[in-house]
Amino acid sequence: MIRIKKLDHIVIRANNSERLIEFYCHILGCTVERRTSPDIGIIQLRAGDALIDIVAVDSEIGRMGGAAPGKEGRNMDHFCVRLESFEEEAIREHLAQHGVVGSKLEMRYGAEGNGPSIYMQDPEGNTVELKGPPNSKII
Protein backbone atom coordinates (compact mmCIF):
# COMPACT_ATOMS: atom_id res chain seq x y z
CA MET A 1 0.00 0.00 0.00
CA ILE A 2 1.18 3.52 -0.75
CA ARG A 3 1.10 5.95 2.19
CA ILE A 4 1.48 9.66 1.45
CA LYS A 5 3.31 11.69 4.07
CA LYS A 6 2.84 15.16 2.52
CA LEU A 7 2.91 17.25 -0.64
CA ASP A 8 6.55 17.64 -1.72
CA HIS A 9 6.37 20.07 -4.64
CA ILE A 10 4.40 21.34 -7.60
CA VAL A 11 5.83 22.34 -10.97
CA ILE A 12 4.35 25.31 -12.82
CA ARG A 13 5.21 26.04 -16.45
CA ALA A 14 5.68 29.76 -17.09
CA ASN A 15 5.73 32.09 -20.07
CA ASN A 16 7.42 34.67 -17.82
CA SER A 17 9.35 32.97 -15.02
CA GLU A 18 10.53 36.18 -13.41
CA ARG A 19 6.97 37.47 -13.09
CA LEU A 20 5.95 34.29 -11.25
CA ILE A 21 9.03 34.42 -9.03
CA GLU A 22 8.19 38.03 -8.16
CA PHE A 23 4.60 37.00 -7.29
CA TYR A 24 5.47 33.97 -5.16
CA CYS A 25 8.42 35.62 -3.39
CA HIS A 26 7.20 39.17 -2.85
CA ILE A 27 3.50 38.54 -2.39
CA LEU A 28 3.42 35.07 -0.81
CA GLY A 29 6.77 35.12 0.99
CA CYS A 30 8.58 32.28 -0.80
CA THR A 31 12.35 32.40 -1.24
CA VAL A 32 14.49 31.26 -4.16
CA GLU A 33 16.16 28.03 -3.05
CA ARG A 34 17.86 26.80 -6.20
CA ARG A 35 18.29 27.66 -9.88
CA THR A 36 19.36 25.19 -12.52
CA SER A 37 21.22 26.24 -15.65
CA PRO A 38 19.07 28.43 -17.96
CA ASP A 39 18.89 25.73 -20.65
CA ILE A 40 17.25 23.33 -18.17
CA GLY A 41 15.18 26.23 -16.83
CA ILE A 42 13.99 25.32 -13.31
CA ILE A 43 13.82 27.84 -10.45
CA GLN A 44 12.86 26.22 -7.14
CA LEU A 45 11.10 28.35 -4.54
CA ARG A 46 10.84 27.37 -0.87
CA ALA A 47 7.20 27.35 0.27
CA GLY A 48 7.26 26.21 3.90
CA ASP A 49 8.33 22.57 3.90
CA ALA A 50 7.50 22.17 0.19
CA LEU A 51 8.76 23.60 -3.10
CA ILE A 52 7.14 25.45 -5.97
CA ASP A 53 9.18 24.85 -9.12
CA ILE A 54 8.89 27.41 -11.89
CA VAL A 55 9.82 26.05 -15.34
CA ALA A 56 10.30 28.33 -18.34
CA VAL A 57 8.23 26.99 -21.27
CA ASP A 58 11.10 27.73 -23.67
CA SER A 59 13.61 25.67 -21.64
CA GLU A 60 14.54 22.02 -22.18
CA ILE A 61 12.11 20.83 -19.49
CA GLY A 62 9.41 23.34 -20.42
CA ARG A 63 9.31 22.29 -24.09
CA MET A 64 8.51 18.71 -23.03
CA GLY A 65 5.20 19.94 -21.56
CA GLY A 66 3.69 20.95 -24.89
CA ALA A 67 1.91 24.21 -25.65
CA ALA A 68 2.62 27.23 -23.47
CA PRO A 69 0.09 28.19 -20.77
CA GLY A 70 -3.08 29.65 -22.25
CA LYS A 71 -6.45 28.50 -23.55
CA GLU A 72 -4.97 25.48 -25.35
CA GLY A 73 -1.95 24.86 -23.13
CA ARG A 74 -1.51 23.85 -19.54
CA ASN A 75 0.69 25.43 -16.96
CA MET A 76 0.97 22.69 -14.33
CA ASP A 77 3.64 20.18 -15.27
CA HIS A 78 3.15 17.80 -12.32
CA PHE A 79 2.75 17.56 -8.59
CA CYS A 80 4.76 15.40 -6.24
CA VAL A 81 3.72 13.53 -3.11
CA ARG A 82 6.31 12.42 -0.59
CA LEU A 83 5.73 8.84 0.50
CA GLU A 84 6.38 7.61 4.02
CA SER A 85 8.67 4.89 2.66
CA PHE A 86 9.85 3.88 -0.80
CA GLU A 87 10.04 0.22 -1.77
CA GLU A 88 10.07 0.21 -5.55
CA GLU A 89 8.87 -3.37 -6.05
CA ALA A 90 5.93 -2.96 -3.64
CA ILE A 91 4.97 0.36 -5.26
CA ARG A 92 5.07 -1.12 -8.77
CA GLU A 93 3.00 -4.13 -7.66
CA HIS A 94 0.40 -1.83 -6.08
CA LEU A 95 0.21 0.36 -9.20
CA ALA A 96 -0.05 -2.70 -11.48
CA GLN A 97 -2.99 -4.03 -9.45
CA HIS A 98 -4.79 -0.83 -10.45
CA GLY A 99 -3.68 -0.84 -14.08
CA VAL A 100 -1.19 2.00 -13.60
CA VAL A 101 2.31 1.97 -15.07
CA GLY A 102 5.09 4.01 -13.48
CA SER A 103 8.10 5.54 -15.18
CA LYS A 104 11.70 4.47 -14.78
CA LEU A 105 12.99 5.03 -11.25
CA GLU A 106 15.27 8.06 -10.92
CA MET A 107 16.86 10.07 -8.13
CA ARG A 108 15.36 13.58 -8.18
CA TYR A 109 15.66 16.71 -6.07
CA GLY A 110 12.65 17.63 -3.95
CA ALA A 111 11.77 19.68 -0.88
CA GLU A 112 13.89 17.50 1.40
CA GLY A 113 16.77 16.82 -1.01
CA ASN A 114 17.54 14.03 -3.49
CA GLY A 115 15.48 10.88 -3.31
CA PRO A 116 14.01 8.11 -5.45
CA SER A 117 10.98 8.96 -7.57
CA ILE A 118 8.61 7.48 -10.12
CA TYR A 119 6.25 9.42 -12.40
CA MET A 120 2.76 8.16 -13.27
CA GLN A 121 -0.41 9.52 -14.86
CA ASP A 122 -3.79 9.92 -13.17
CA PRO A 123 -6.96 9.04 -15.14
CA GLU A 124 -7.22 12.62 -16.47
CA GLY A 125 -3.63 12.63 -17.74
CA ASN A 126 -2.12 14.69 -14.91
CA THR A 127 1.40 13.66 -13.98
CA VAL A 128 1.95 12.63 -10.37
CA GLU A 129 5.41 12.03 -8.93
CA LEU A 130 5.80 9.49 -6.12
CA LYS A 131 8.89 10.45 -4.10
CA GLY A 132 10.74 8.62 -1.37
CA PRO A 133 12.71 9.90 1.61
CA PRO A 134 15.79 11.97 0.78
CA ASN A 135 19.06 10.16 0.21
CA SER A 136 17.34 6.81 0.74
CA LYS A 137 18.61 3.64 -0.84
CA ILE A 138 16.73 2.35 -3.83
CA ILE A 139 15.19 -0.96 -2.75
Specify the DSSP element, H or E, that contains 51. strand 50-56
pLDDT digits (tens, 9 = 90+) for 37-66: 888 889 999 998 999 999 988 888 888 877
User: Residue 87: is it exposed, middle or buried by C-beta count within 10 angstroms (0-12/13-18/19+)?
Assistant: middle
Is CATH 3.40.50.2000 the classification given to domain 4-131? no
Mean pLDDT of 73-92: 88
Compute and round to an integer the Cα radius of gyration of the chain: 15
User: Residue 79: is it exposed, middle or buried by C-beta count within 10 angstroms (0-12/13-18/19+)?
Assistant: middle
Give the integer Cα–Cα distance in Å for 116 and 138. Answer: 7
Q: Is the pLDDT of residue 82 over 80?
A: yes
